[in-house]
Amino acid sequence: MLPRPLRGVLPILFLTREALAQSNAETVRSSFAYILYGERTPLRGNTAPSLTPLGGQQLYTQGSVFRARYLSNGSLSEDDSRVTTASPVIGLEENAIDNSQLSIYSSTDEYVFGSALAFMQGLYPPTPHAFAVDGEDLSMLANGTTVEYPLDGYQYPNVQTPSVLDPNSVWLEGHTSCADYWSSARDFDDEANTVRTYNSSFDFYQKT
């Protein structure tokens, strides 16, 4: 269910911290996922690098499936049960995001960071009373008034963008210091394969 990889793929990482044990047939304590970004504007051309609405939907859908898998209480919808099984991570907040339980890494590229946000919107959709610290609902003020986050309880994930000086950045942006990557990107237009494909598909793309 990963979006189609594109040239110069950049990942987002999502990791849940180990939680408390619980006796069950299967015990899931944490999960690690390496996720590609959604559809972006073409590498070649005049458009700025950007996540497209389709790309946002791709990652939102993917986050929703992860939600069904890791944050469900065992009852999956018919759609979700076609693509995954319920494997709830024990101790993980189900509805209110608790950023101390998650590690989310992204490169600084707009379309990758946007993909991370869209994914997280699916994982933790807007939820009223969604302000949890150690499982406690804190959305009520001392005077008894309940205050929600904007947009019906939109939740804010802590998406980290490690700098190139951080050793962890290699997993996300190893290509930024890779001479072969950049020469390949630069010479792409002139490679024999590119020219052949361009010539052989030119007529097709001229059709309206």
Ligand X SMILES: *[C@@H]1O[C@H](CO)[C@@H](O)[C@H](O)[C@H]1NC(C)=O
Q: What's the CA angle centered on 148, arms 144 and 153, to 5 degrees? A: 150
The nearer residue to ligand X, 60 or 113, going by C-beta atoms, is: 60
Nearest approach, Cβ of residue 71 and ligand X (Å): 10
Binding region for ligand X (CB under 6 A) out of 85-93, 112-120, 180-188, 193-201? 193-201
- Contact 31/102 with Cβ under 8 angstroms? no
- Residue 35, CA atoms < 13 Å, CB-side half-sphere: 33
Distance CA 165, CA 155 (A): 29
**Distance in Å, CB of 197 to ligand X, minimum:** 9
Question: Shortest Cβ distance from residue 122 to ligand X (Å)?
Answer: 15
For residues 131 to 150, the per-residue mask of contacts with ligand X, x marking binding by CB under 6 A and - elsewhere, is: ----------x-x-x-----
The reply to whether 163 sits near ligand X by the rule CB under 6 A is: no
- Closer CB to ligand X, 15 or 28, in the complex: 28
* Beta strand 132-133 pairing with 136-137: antiparallel
Rounded Cα distance between 160 and 105, Å, is: 5
Q: How far apart are CA 197 and CA 188, in angstroms?
A: 12
Give the residue, chosen from 46, 73, 163, 208, that forms a contact with ligand X under the rule CB under 6 A.
73
Give CA–CA dist 43/8, Å, rounded. 9
Q: For ligand X, which is the closer residue by CB, 145 or 163? A: 145
Q: Residues in the site for ligand X, rule: CB under 6 A? A: 73, 75, 141, 143, 145, 195-196, 199
